[in-house]
Chain A
Amino acid sequence: MPIDKSMQVLIVDDYKTMLRIIRNLLKQIEFNNVEEASDGADALTKLRSGNFGLVISDWNMQPMTGLQLLQEVRADSRLKTTPFIMVTAESKTENVVAAKQAGVSNYIVKPFNAETLRDKIEKVLGHA
Protein backbone atom coordinates (compact mmCIF):
# COMPACT_ATOMS: atom_id res chain seq x y z
CA MET A 1 0.00 0.00 0.00
CA PRO A 2 1.47 3.36 -1.01
CA ILE A 3 2.10 6.13 1.52
CA ASP A 4 -0.76 8.59 1.80
CA LYS A 5 1.10 11.75 0.85
CA SER A 6 -1.98 13.90 1.37
CA MET A 7 -1.68 13.36 5.12
CA GLN A 8 -1.21 16.44 7.28
CA VAL A 9 2.40 16.85 8.44
CA LEU A 10 3.43 19.16 11.29
CA ILE A 11 6.96 20.55 11.18
CA VAL A 12 8.30 22.20 14.34
CA ASP A 13 11.39 24.42 14.54
CA ASP A 14 12.23 27.80 16.05
CA TYR A 15 14.38 28.68 13.01
CA LYS A 16 12.09 29.98 10.28
CA THR A 17 14.76 29.09 7.73
CA MET A 18 14.68 25.43 8.77
CA LEU A 19 10.88 25.34 8.56
CA ARG A 20 11.14 26.72 5.03
CA ILE A 21 13.83 24.20 4.06
CA ILE A 22 11.95 21.19 5.45
CA ARG A 23 8.69 22.37 3.88
CA ASN A 24 10.40 22.63 0.48
CA LEU A 25 12.09 19.23 0.83
CA LEU A 26 8.73 17.69 1.80
CA LYS A 27 7.14 19.35 -1.22
CA GLN A 28 9.77 17.75 -3.44
CA ILE A 29 8.77 14.32 -2.13
CA GLU A 30 5.14 15.26 -2.66
CA PHE A 31 4.03 16.00 0.89
CA ASN A 32 2.13 19.22 0.28
CA ASN A 33 -0.20 19.30 3.29
CA VAL A 34 2.32 20.81 5.70
CA GLU A 35 1.65 22.94 8.79
CA GLU A 36 4.33 24.79 10.78
CA ALA A 37 4.88 25.46 14.50
CA SER A 38 7.65 27.58 16.03
CA ASP A 39 8.03 25.69 19.33
CA GLY A 40 6.74 22.75 21.33
CA ALA A 41 3.83 24.59 22.94
CA ASP A 42 2.62 25.94 19.61
CA ALA A 43 2.94 22.45 18.13
CA LEU A 44 0.97 20.83 20.93
CA THR A 45 -1.90 23.29 20.47
CA LYS A 46 -1.99 22.55 16.73
CA LEU A 47 -1.72 18.79 17.26
CA ARG A 48 -4.63 18.76 19.72
CA SER A 49 -6.87 20.71 17.38
CA GLY A 50 -5.84 18.98 14.15
CA ASN A 51 -5.45 15.59 12.57
CA PHE A 52 -1.77 15.11 11.80
CA GLY A 53 -0.28 11.91 10.40
CA LEU A 54 3.35 12.81 11.10
CA VAL A 55 5.37 15.20 13.29
CA ILE A 56 8.88 16.32 12.32
CA SER A 57 10.37 18.33 15.19
CA ASP A 58 13.57 20.07 16.23
CA TRP A 59 14.75 19.43 19.81
CA ASN A 60 16.41 22.65 21.00
CA MET A 61 13.51 25.10 21.36
CA GLN A 62 12.05 27.33 24.06
CA PRO A 63 9.84 27.38 26.10
CA MET A 64 8.90 23.76 25.37
CA THR A 65 11.63 21.60 23.86
CA GLY A 66 11.16 18.92 21.23
CA LEU A 67 11.73 16.23 23.86
CA GLN A 68 9.02 17.69 26.11
CA LEU A 69 6.71 17.88 23.08
CA LEU A 70 7.40 14.23 22.34
CA GLN A 71 6.65 13.28 25.97
CA GLU A 72 3.38 15.26 25.85
CA VAL A 73 2.41 13.60 22.57
CA ARG A 74 3.10 10.11 23.92
CA ALA A 75 1.13 10.89 27.10
CA ASP A 76 -1.92 12.08 25.15
CA SER A 77 -4.37 9.26 24.48
CA ARG A 78 -5.41 10.68 21.11
CA LEU A 79 -1.92 11.59 19.88
CA LYS A 80 0.23 8.84 21.38
CA THR A 81 0.56 6.77 18.21
CA THR A 82 1.40 9.71 15.93
CA PRO A 83 4.74 9.04 14.18
CA PHE A 84 7.32 11.47 15.51
CA ILE A 85 10.71 12.18 13.88
CA MET A 86 13.27 14.26 15.79
CA VAL A 87 15.48 16.38 13.49
CA THR A 88 18.23 17.94 15.56
CA ALA A 89 21.87 18.98 15.81
CA GLU A 90 22.05 17.18 19.19
CA SER A 91 24.07 14.13 18.28
CA LYS A 92 25.31 12.70 21.57
CA THR A 93 24.51 9.13 22.54
CA GLU A 94 22.59 10.29 25.62
CA ASN A 95 20.36 12.45 23.40
CA VAL A 96 19.46 9.55 21.12
CA VAL A 97 18.84 7.32 24.15
CA ALA A 98 16.64 9.94 25.84
CA ALA A 99 14.63 10.46 22.66
CA LYS A 100 14.19 6.72 22.16
CA GLN A 101 13.09 6.25 25.76
CA ALA A 102 10.54 9.03 25.27
CA GLY A 103 9.15 7.13 22.28
CA VAL A 104 10.65 8.81 19.22
CA SER A 105 9.91 7.03 15.95
CA ASN A 106 13.16 8.05 14.27
CA TYR A 107 16.02 10.48 14.70
CA ILE A 108 17.73 12.62 12.05
CA VAL A 109 20.90 14.53 12.83
CA LYS A 110 21.45 17.95 11.27
CA PRO A 111 22.75 18.73 8.73
CA PHE A 112 20.79 16.15 6.79
CA ASN A 113 19.95 15.57 3.16
CA ALA A 114 16.71 14.98 1.29
CA GLU A 115 17.44 11.28 0.88
CA THR A 116 17.76 10.79 4.66
CA LEU A 117 14.51 12.66 5.24
CA ARG A 118 12.69 10.57 2.65
CA ASP A 119 14.19 7.33 4.01
CA LYS A 120 13.17 8.05 7.63
CA ILE A 121 9.67 9.15 6.66
CA GLU A 122 9.18 5.92 4.72
CA LYS A 123 10.50 3.90 7.68
CA VAL A 124 8.20 5.48 10.28
CA LEU A 125 5.20 5.25 8.01
CA GLY A 126 5.92 1.55 7.61
CA HIS A 127 7.06 1.40 4.03
CA ALA A 128 10.81 0.89 4.29
Chain B
Amino acid sequence: MHEAFAGTRAGPLAARLAEIRARYPETEPEWVADVVRAVITALHGELAPPDSALLAEVEALGRTIANAKAEIAALQVDDITSAQIPFATDELDAIVAHTAAATNAILESCETLDTLAETLAGELAAKLQDATTHIYEACSFQDITGQRITKVVATLKAIETKVAQIIAAFGHRIVAGDEAELLLEGEAALLNGPQLPDAAMGQSEIDRLLASFD
Protein backbone atom coordinates (compact mmCIF):
# COMPACT_ATOMS: atom_id res chain seq x y z
CA MET B 1 0.00 0.00 0.00
CA HIS B 2 2.82 2.31 0.89
CA GLU B 3 4.52 1.90 -2.49
CA ALA B 4 1.22 2.42 -4.29
CA PHE B 5 0.96 5.86 -2.74
CA ALA B 6 4.53 6.87 -3.49
CA GLY B 7 4.70 9.95 -5.67
CA THR B 8 1.06 10.90 -5.01
CA ARG B 9 -0.33 13.35 -2.53
CA ALA B 10 -1.04 10.34 -0.36
CA GLY B 11 2.65 9.41 -0.14
CA PRO B 12 3.39 11.19 3.15
CA LEU B 13 0.22 9.77 4.70
CA ALA B 14 1.16 6.24 3.66
CA ALA B 15 4.63 6.69 5.12
CA ARG B 16 3.10 7.96 8.34
CA LEU B 17 0.74 4.94 8.47
CA ALA B 18 3.67 2.56 7.90
CA GLU B 19 5.61 4.21 10.70
CA ILE B 20 2.66 3.86 13.09
CA ARG B 21 2.15 0.23 12.05
CA ALA B 22 5.82 -0.51 12.78
CA ARG B 23 5.60 1.17 16.15
CA TYR B 24 2.43 -0.67 17.22
CA PRO B 25 2.51 -4.10 15.50
CA GLU B 26 0.00 -5.64 17.94
CA THR B 27 -2.68 -3.01 17.29
CA GLU B 28 -6.15 -4.41 16.59
CA PRO B 29 -7.21 -3.69 12.96
CA GLU B 30 -10.70 -2.80 14.22
CA TRP B 31 -9.31 -0.07 16.50
CA VAL B 32 -7.50 1.41 13.52
CA ALA B 33 -10.73 1.33 11.52
CA ASP B 34 -12.53 3.11 14.39
CA VAL B 35 -9.84 5.79 14.54
CA VAL B 36 -10.02 6.30 10.77
CA ARG B 37 -13.80 6.63 10.94
CA ALA B 38 -13.45 9.20 13.71
CA VAL B 39 -10.85 11.19 11.72
CA ILE B 40 -13.00 11.14 8.58
CA THR B 41 -15.98 12.32 10.55
CA ALA B 42 -13.93 15.09 12.16
CA LEU B 43 -12.41 16.23 8.86
CA HIS B 44 -15.56 15.97 6.77
CA GLY B 45 -15.83 18.95 4.46
CA GLU B 46 -12.24 20.07 4.96
CA LEU B 47 -10.61 17.53 2.63
CA ALA B 48 -9.61 17.83 -0.99
CA PRO B 49 -11.27 15.21 -3.28
CA PRO B 50 -8.08 12.96 -3.53
CA ASP B 51 -7.77 12.91 0.27
CA SER B 52 -11.43 11.96 0.63
CA ALA B 53 -11.03 9.12 -1.87
CA LEU B 54 -7.99 7.80 -0.02
CA LEU B 55 -9.69 7.94 3.34
CA ALA B 56 -12.76 6.25 1.89
CA GLU B 57 -10.49 3.44 0.69
CA VAL B 58 -8.89 3.13 4.11
CA GLU B 59 -12.32 3.01 5.70
CA ALA B 60 -13.43 0.33 3.24
CA LEU B 61 -10.30 -1.63 4.11
CA GLY B 62 -11.18 -1.38 7.79
CA ARG B 63 -14.67 -2.70 7.06
CA THR B 64 -13.21 -5.61 5.06
CA ILE B 65 -10.93 -6.54 7.94
CA ALA B 66 -13.80 -6.35 10.42
CA ASN B 67 -15.97 -8.54 8.16
CA ALA B 68 -13.19 -11.10 7.72
CA LYS B 69 -12.69 -11.18 11.46
CA ALA B 70 -16.42 -11.79 12.02
CA GLU B 71 -16.44 -14.57 9.41
CA ILE B 72 -13.44 -16.31 10.98
CA ALA B 73 -15.04 -16.00 14.42
CA ALA B 74 -18.20 -17.60 13.00
CA LEU B 75 -16.12 -20.59 11.87
CA GLN B 76 -15.28 -21.27 15.54
CA VAL B 77 -11.65 -22.02 14.73
CA ASP B 78 -10.94 -22.14 18.48
CA ASP B 79 -12.62 -25.57 18.45
CA ILE B 80 -9.87 -26.89 16.19
CA THR B 81 -7.13 -26.16 18.70
CA SER B 82 -9.11 -26.66 21.91
CA ALA B 83 -10.99 -29.85 21.06
CA GLN B 84 -10.63 -31.43 17.64
CA ILE B 85 -6.85 -31.71 17.31
CA PRO B 86 -6.32 -32.86 20.94
CA PHE B 87 -9.09 -35.44 20.38
CA ALA B 88 -7.44 -36.68 17.18
CA THR B 89 -3.99 -36.96 18.79
CA ASP B 90 -5.46 -38.79 21.82
CA GLU B 91 -7.16 -41.24 19.47
CA LEU B 92 -3.90 -41.84 17.62
CA ASP B 93 -2.05 -42.37 20.92
CA ALA B 94 -4.71 -44.93 21.85
CA ILE B 95 -4.16 -46.74 18.54
CA VAL B 96 -0.43 -46.97 19.29
CA ALA B 97 -1.10 -48.27 22.81
CA HIS B 98 -3.63 -50.87 21.65
CA THR B 99 -1.50 -52.17 18.79
CA ALA B 100 1.51 -52.40 21.14
CA ALA B 101 -0.53 -54.42 23.63
CA ALA B 102 -1.88 -56.70 20.89
CA THR B 103 1.60 -57.17 19.38
CA ASN B 104 3.05 -58.10 22.75
CA ALA B 105 0.29 -60.66 23.28
CA ILE B 106 1.07 -62.18 19.86
CA LEU B 107 4.80 -62.23 20.64
CA GLU B 108 4.17 -63.92 23.97
CA SER B 109 2.19 -66.70 22.26
CA CYS B 110 4.89 -66.97 19.63
CA GLU B 111 7.59 -67.37 22.29
CA THR B 112 5.53 -70.19 23.83
CA LEU B 113 5.42 -71.90 20.43
CA ASP B 114 9.20 -71.45 20.10
CA THR B 115 9.71 -73.13 23.46
CA LEU B 116 7.44 -75.93 22.29
CA ALA B 117 9.42 -76.25 19.06
CA GLU B 118 12.58 -76.88 21.09
CA THR B 119 10.98 -80.07 22.43
CA LEU B 120 10.26 -81.31 18.92
CA ALA B 121 12.60 -82.59 16.24
CA GLY B 122 12.83 -82.89 12.48
CA GLU B 123 10.45 -81.42 9.93
CA LEU B 124 7.76 -80.57 12.47
CA ALA B 125 10.16 -78.46 14.53
CA ALA B 126 11.45 -76.71 11.39
CA LYS B 127 7.92 -75.93 10.21
CA LEU B 128 6.95 -74.54 13.57
CA GLN B 129 10.05 -72.36 13.66
CA ASP B 130 9.36 -71.06 10.14
CA ALA B 131 5.87 -70.10 11.23
CA THR B 132 7.08 -68.25 14.33
CA THR B 133 9.77 -66.49 12.29
CA HIS B 134 7.09 -65.14 9.95
CA ILE B 135 5.03 -63.98 12.91
CA TYR B 136 8.05 -62.14 14.39
CA GLU B 137 8.72 -60.48 11.02
CA ALA B 138 5.08 -59.43 10.65
CA CYS B 139 4.96 -58.00 14.17
CA SER B 140 7.45 -55.31 13.20
CA PHE B 141 4.43 -53.52 11.69
CA GLN B 142 3.88 -52.05 15.17
CA ASP B 143 7.15 -50.12 14.99
CA ILE B 144 6.45 -48.85 11.46
CA THR B 145 2.85 -47.82 12.16
CA GLY B 146 3.96 -46.19 15.41
CA GLN B 147 6.46 -44.04 13.51
CA ARG B 148 3.87 -43.16 10.85
CA ILE B 149 1.38 -42.12 13.52
CA THR B 150 4.05 -39.97 15.18
CA LYS B 151 4.46 -38.16 11.83
CA VAL B 152 0.68 -37.62 11.58
CA VAL B 153 0.61 -36.21 15.15
CA ALA B 154 3.43 -33.80 14.22
CA THR B 155 1.42 -32.68 11.16
CA LEU B 156 -1.68 -32.10 13.31
CA LYS B 157 0.39 -30.03 15.72
CA ALA B 158 1.68 -27.93 12.81
CA ILE B 159 -1.94 -27.32 11.71
CA GLU B 160 -2.80 -26.38 15.29
CA THR B 161 0.03 -23.83 15.29
CA LYS B 162 -1.14 -22.30 11.99
CA VAL B 163 -4.70 -22.00 13.27
CA ALA B 164 -3.43 -20.37 16.46
CA GLN B 165 -1.48 -17.88 14.34
CA ILE B 166 -4.64 -17.02 12.34
CA ILE B 167 -6.53 -16.48 15.58
CA ALA B 168 -3.69 -14.32 16.93
CA ALA B 169 -3.60 -12.25 13.73
CA PHE B 170 -7.24 -11.37 14.26
CA GLY B 171 -6.75 -10.18 17.80
CA HIS B 172 -7.36 -13.31 19.87
CA ARG B 173 -4.93 -14.95 22.19
CA ILE B 174 -2.45 -17.50 20.83
CA VAL B 175 -3.91 -20.85 21.79
CA ALA B 176 -0.89 -23.12 21.52
CA GLY B 177 2.46 -23.73 19.89
CA ASP B 178 3.44 -20.22 18.95
CA GLU B 179 6.57 -21.52 17.28
CA ALA B 180 6.53 -21.27 13.53
CA GLU B 181 7.56 -24.29 11.49
CA LEU B 182 11.24 -24.83 12.03
CA LEU B 183 13.60 -25.44 9.18
CA LEU B 184 15.33 -28.65 10.10
CA GLU B 185 19.07 -28.75 9.77
CA GLY B 186 21.80 -31.31 10.30
CA GLU B 187 20.79 -34.77 11.47
CA ALA B 188 17.25 -33.58 12.32
CA ALA B 189 16.64 -33.19 8.57
CA LEU B 190 17.49 -36.89 8.17
CA LEU B 191 14.88 -38.10 10.66
CA ASN B 192 11.90 -38.55 8.36
CA GLY B 193 10.64 -41.93 9.52
CA PRO B 194 9.17 -44.54 7.19
CA GLN B 195 8.64 -43.44 3.59
CA LEU B 196 5.48 -44.30 1.69
CA PRO B 197 6.01 -47.47 -0.37
CA ASP B 198 6.23 -45.60 -3.71
CA ALA B 199 8.96 -43.28 -2.40
CA ALA B 200 10.91 -45.72 -0.24
CA MET B 201 14.21 -47.34 -1.19
CA GLY B 202 14.13 -51.10 -0.88
CA GLN B 203 16.80 -53.25 0.77
CA SER B 204 18.33 -54.17 -2.61
CA GLU B 205 18.69 -50.48 -3.59
CA ILE B 206 20.30 -49.74 -0.22
CA ASP B 207 22.67 -52.68 -0.72
CA ARG B 208 23.67 -51.28 -4.15
CA LEU B 209 24.19 -47.81 -2.68
CA LEU B 210 26.35 -49.18 0.14
CA ALA B 211 28.35 -51.27 -2.32
CA SER B 212 29.05 -48.16 -4.38
CA PHE B 213 31.25 -46.90 -1.51
CA ASP B 214 33.52 -49.96 -1.68
Contacts and interface: CB of A to CB of B under 8 A. Distances in A.
Interface residues of A, number: 37
A116 B140 CA distance: 14
Nearest to B117: A28
A110 B210 CA distance: 16
B140 A109 contact: no
B143 A18 contact: yes
Contacts of B140: 17-18, 21, 110-112
B191 A91 contact: no
Given A100-B213, A111-B137, A91 B206 contact: yes
A106 interface: yes
Interface residue SS majority, chain B: helix
30 contacts: A15-B146, A17-B100, A17-B104, A17-B143, A21-B136, A21-B140, A24-B132, A28-B114, A28-B132, A28-B136, A59-B191, A60-B191, A89-B194, A90-B190, A90-B191, A91-B195, A92-B190, A92-B192, A92-B195, A96-B210, A97-B209, A98-B187, A100-B213, A107-B206, A108-B203, A109-B200, A110-B144, A111-B141, A112-B137, A114-B137
B142 A92 contact: no
A110 B143 contact: yes
Interface residues of B, number: 35
A111 B38 CA distance: 68
A60 B213 contact: no
B49 interface: no
A93 B209 contact: yes
Contacts of B202: 91, 109
A67 interface: yes
A89 to B, nearest CB: 4
Given A24-B111, A90-B193, A113-B137, A96 B206 contact: yes
Contacts of A92: 190, 192, 195, 201
A20 B104 contact: yes
B36 interface: no
A95 B144 contact: no
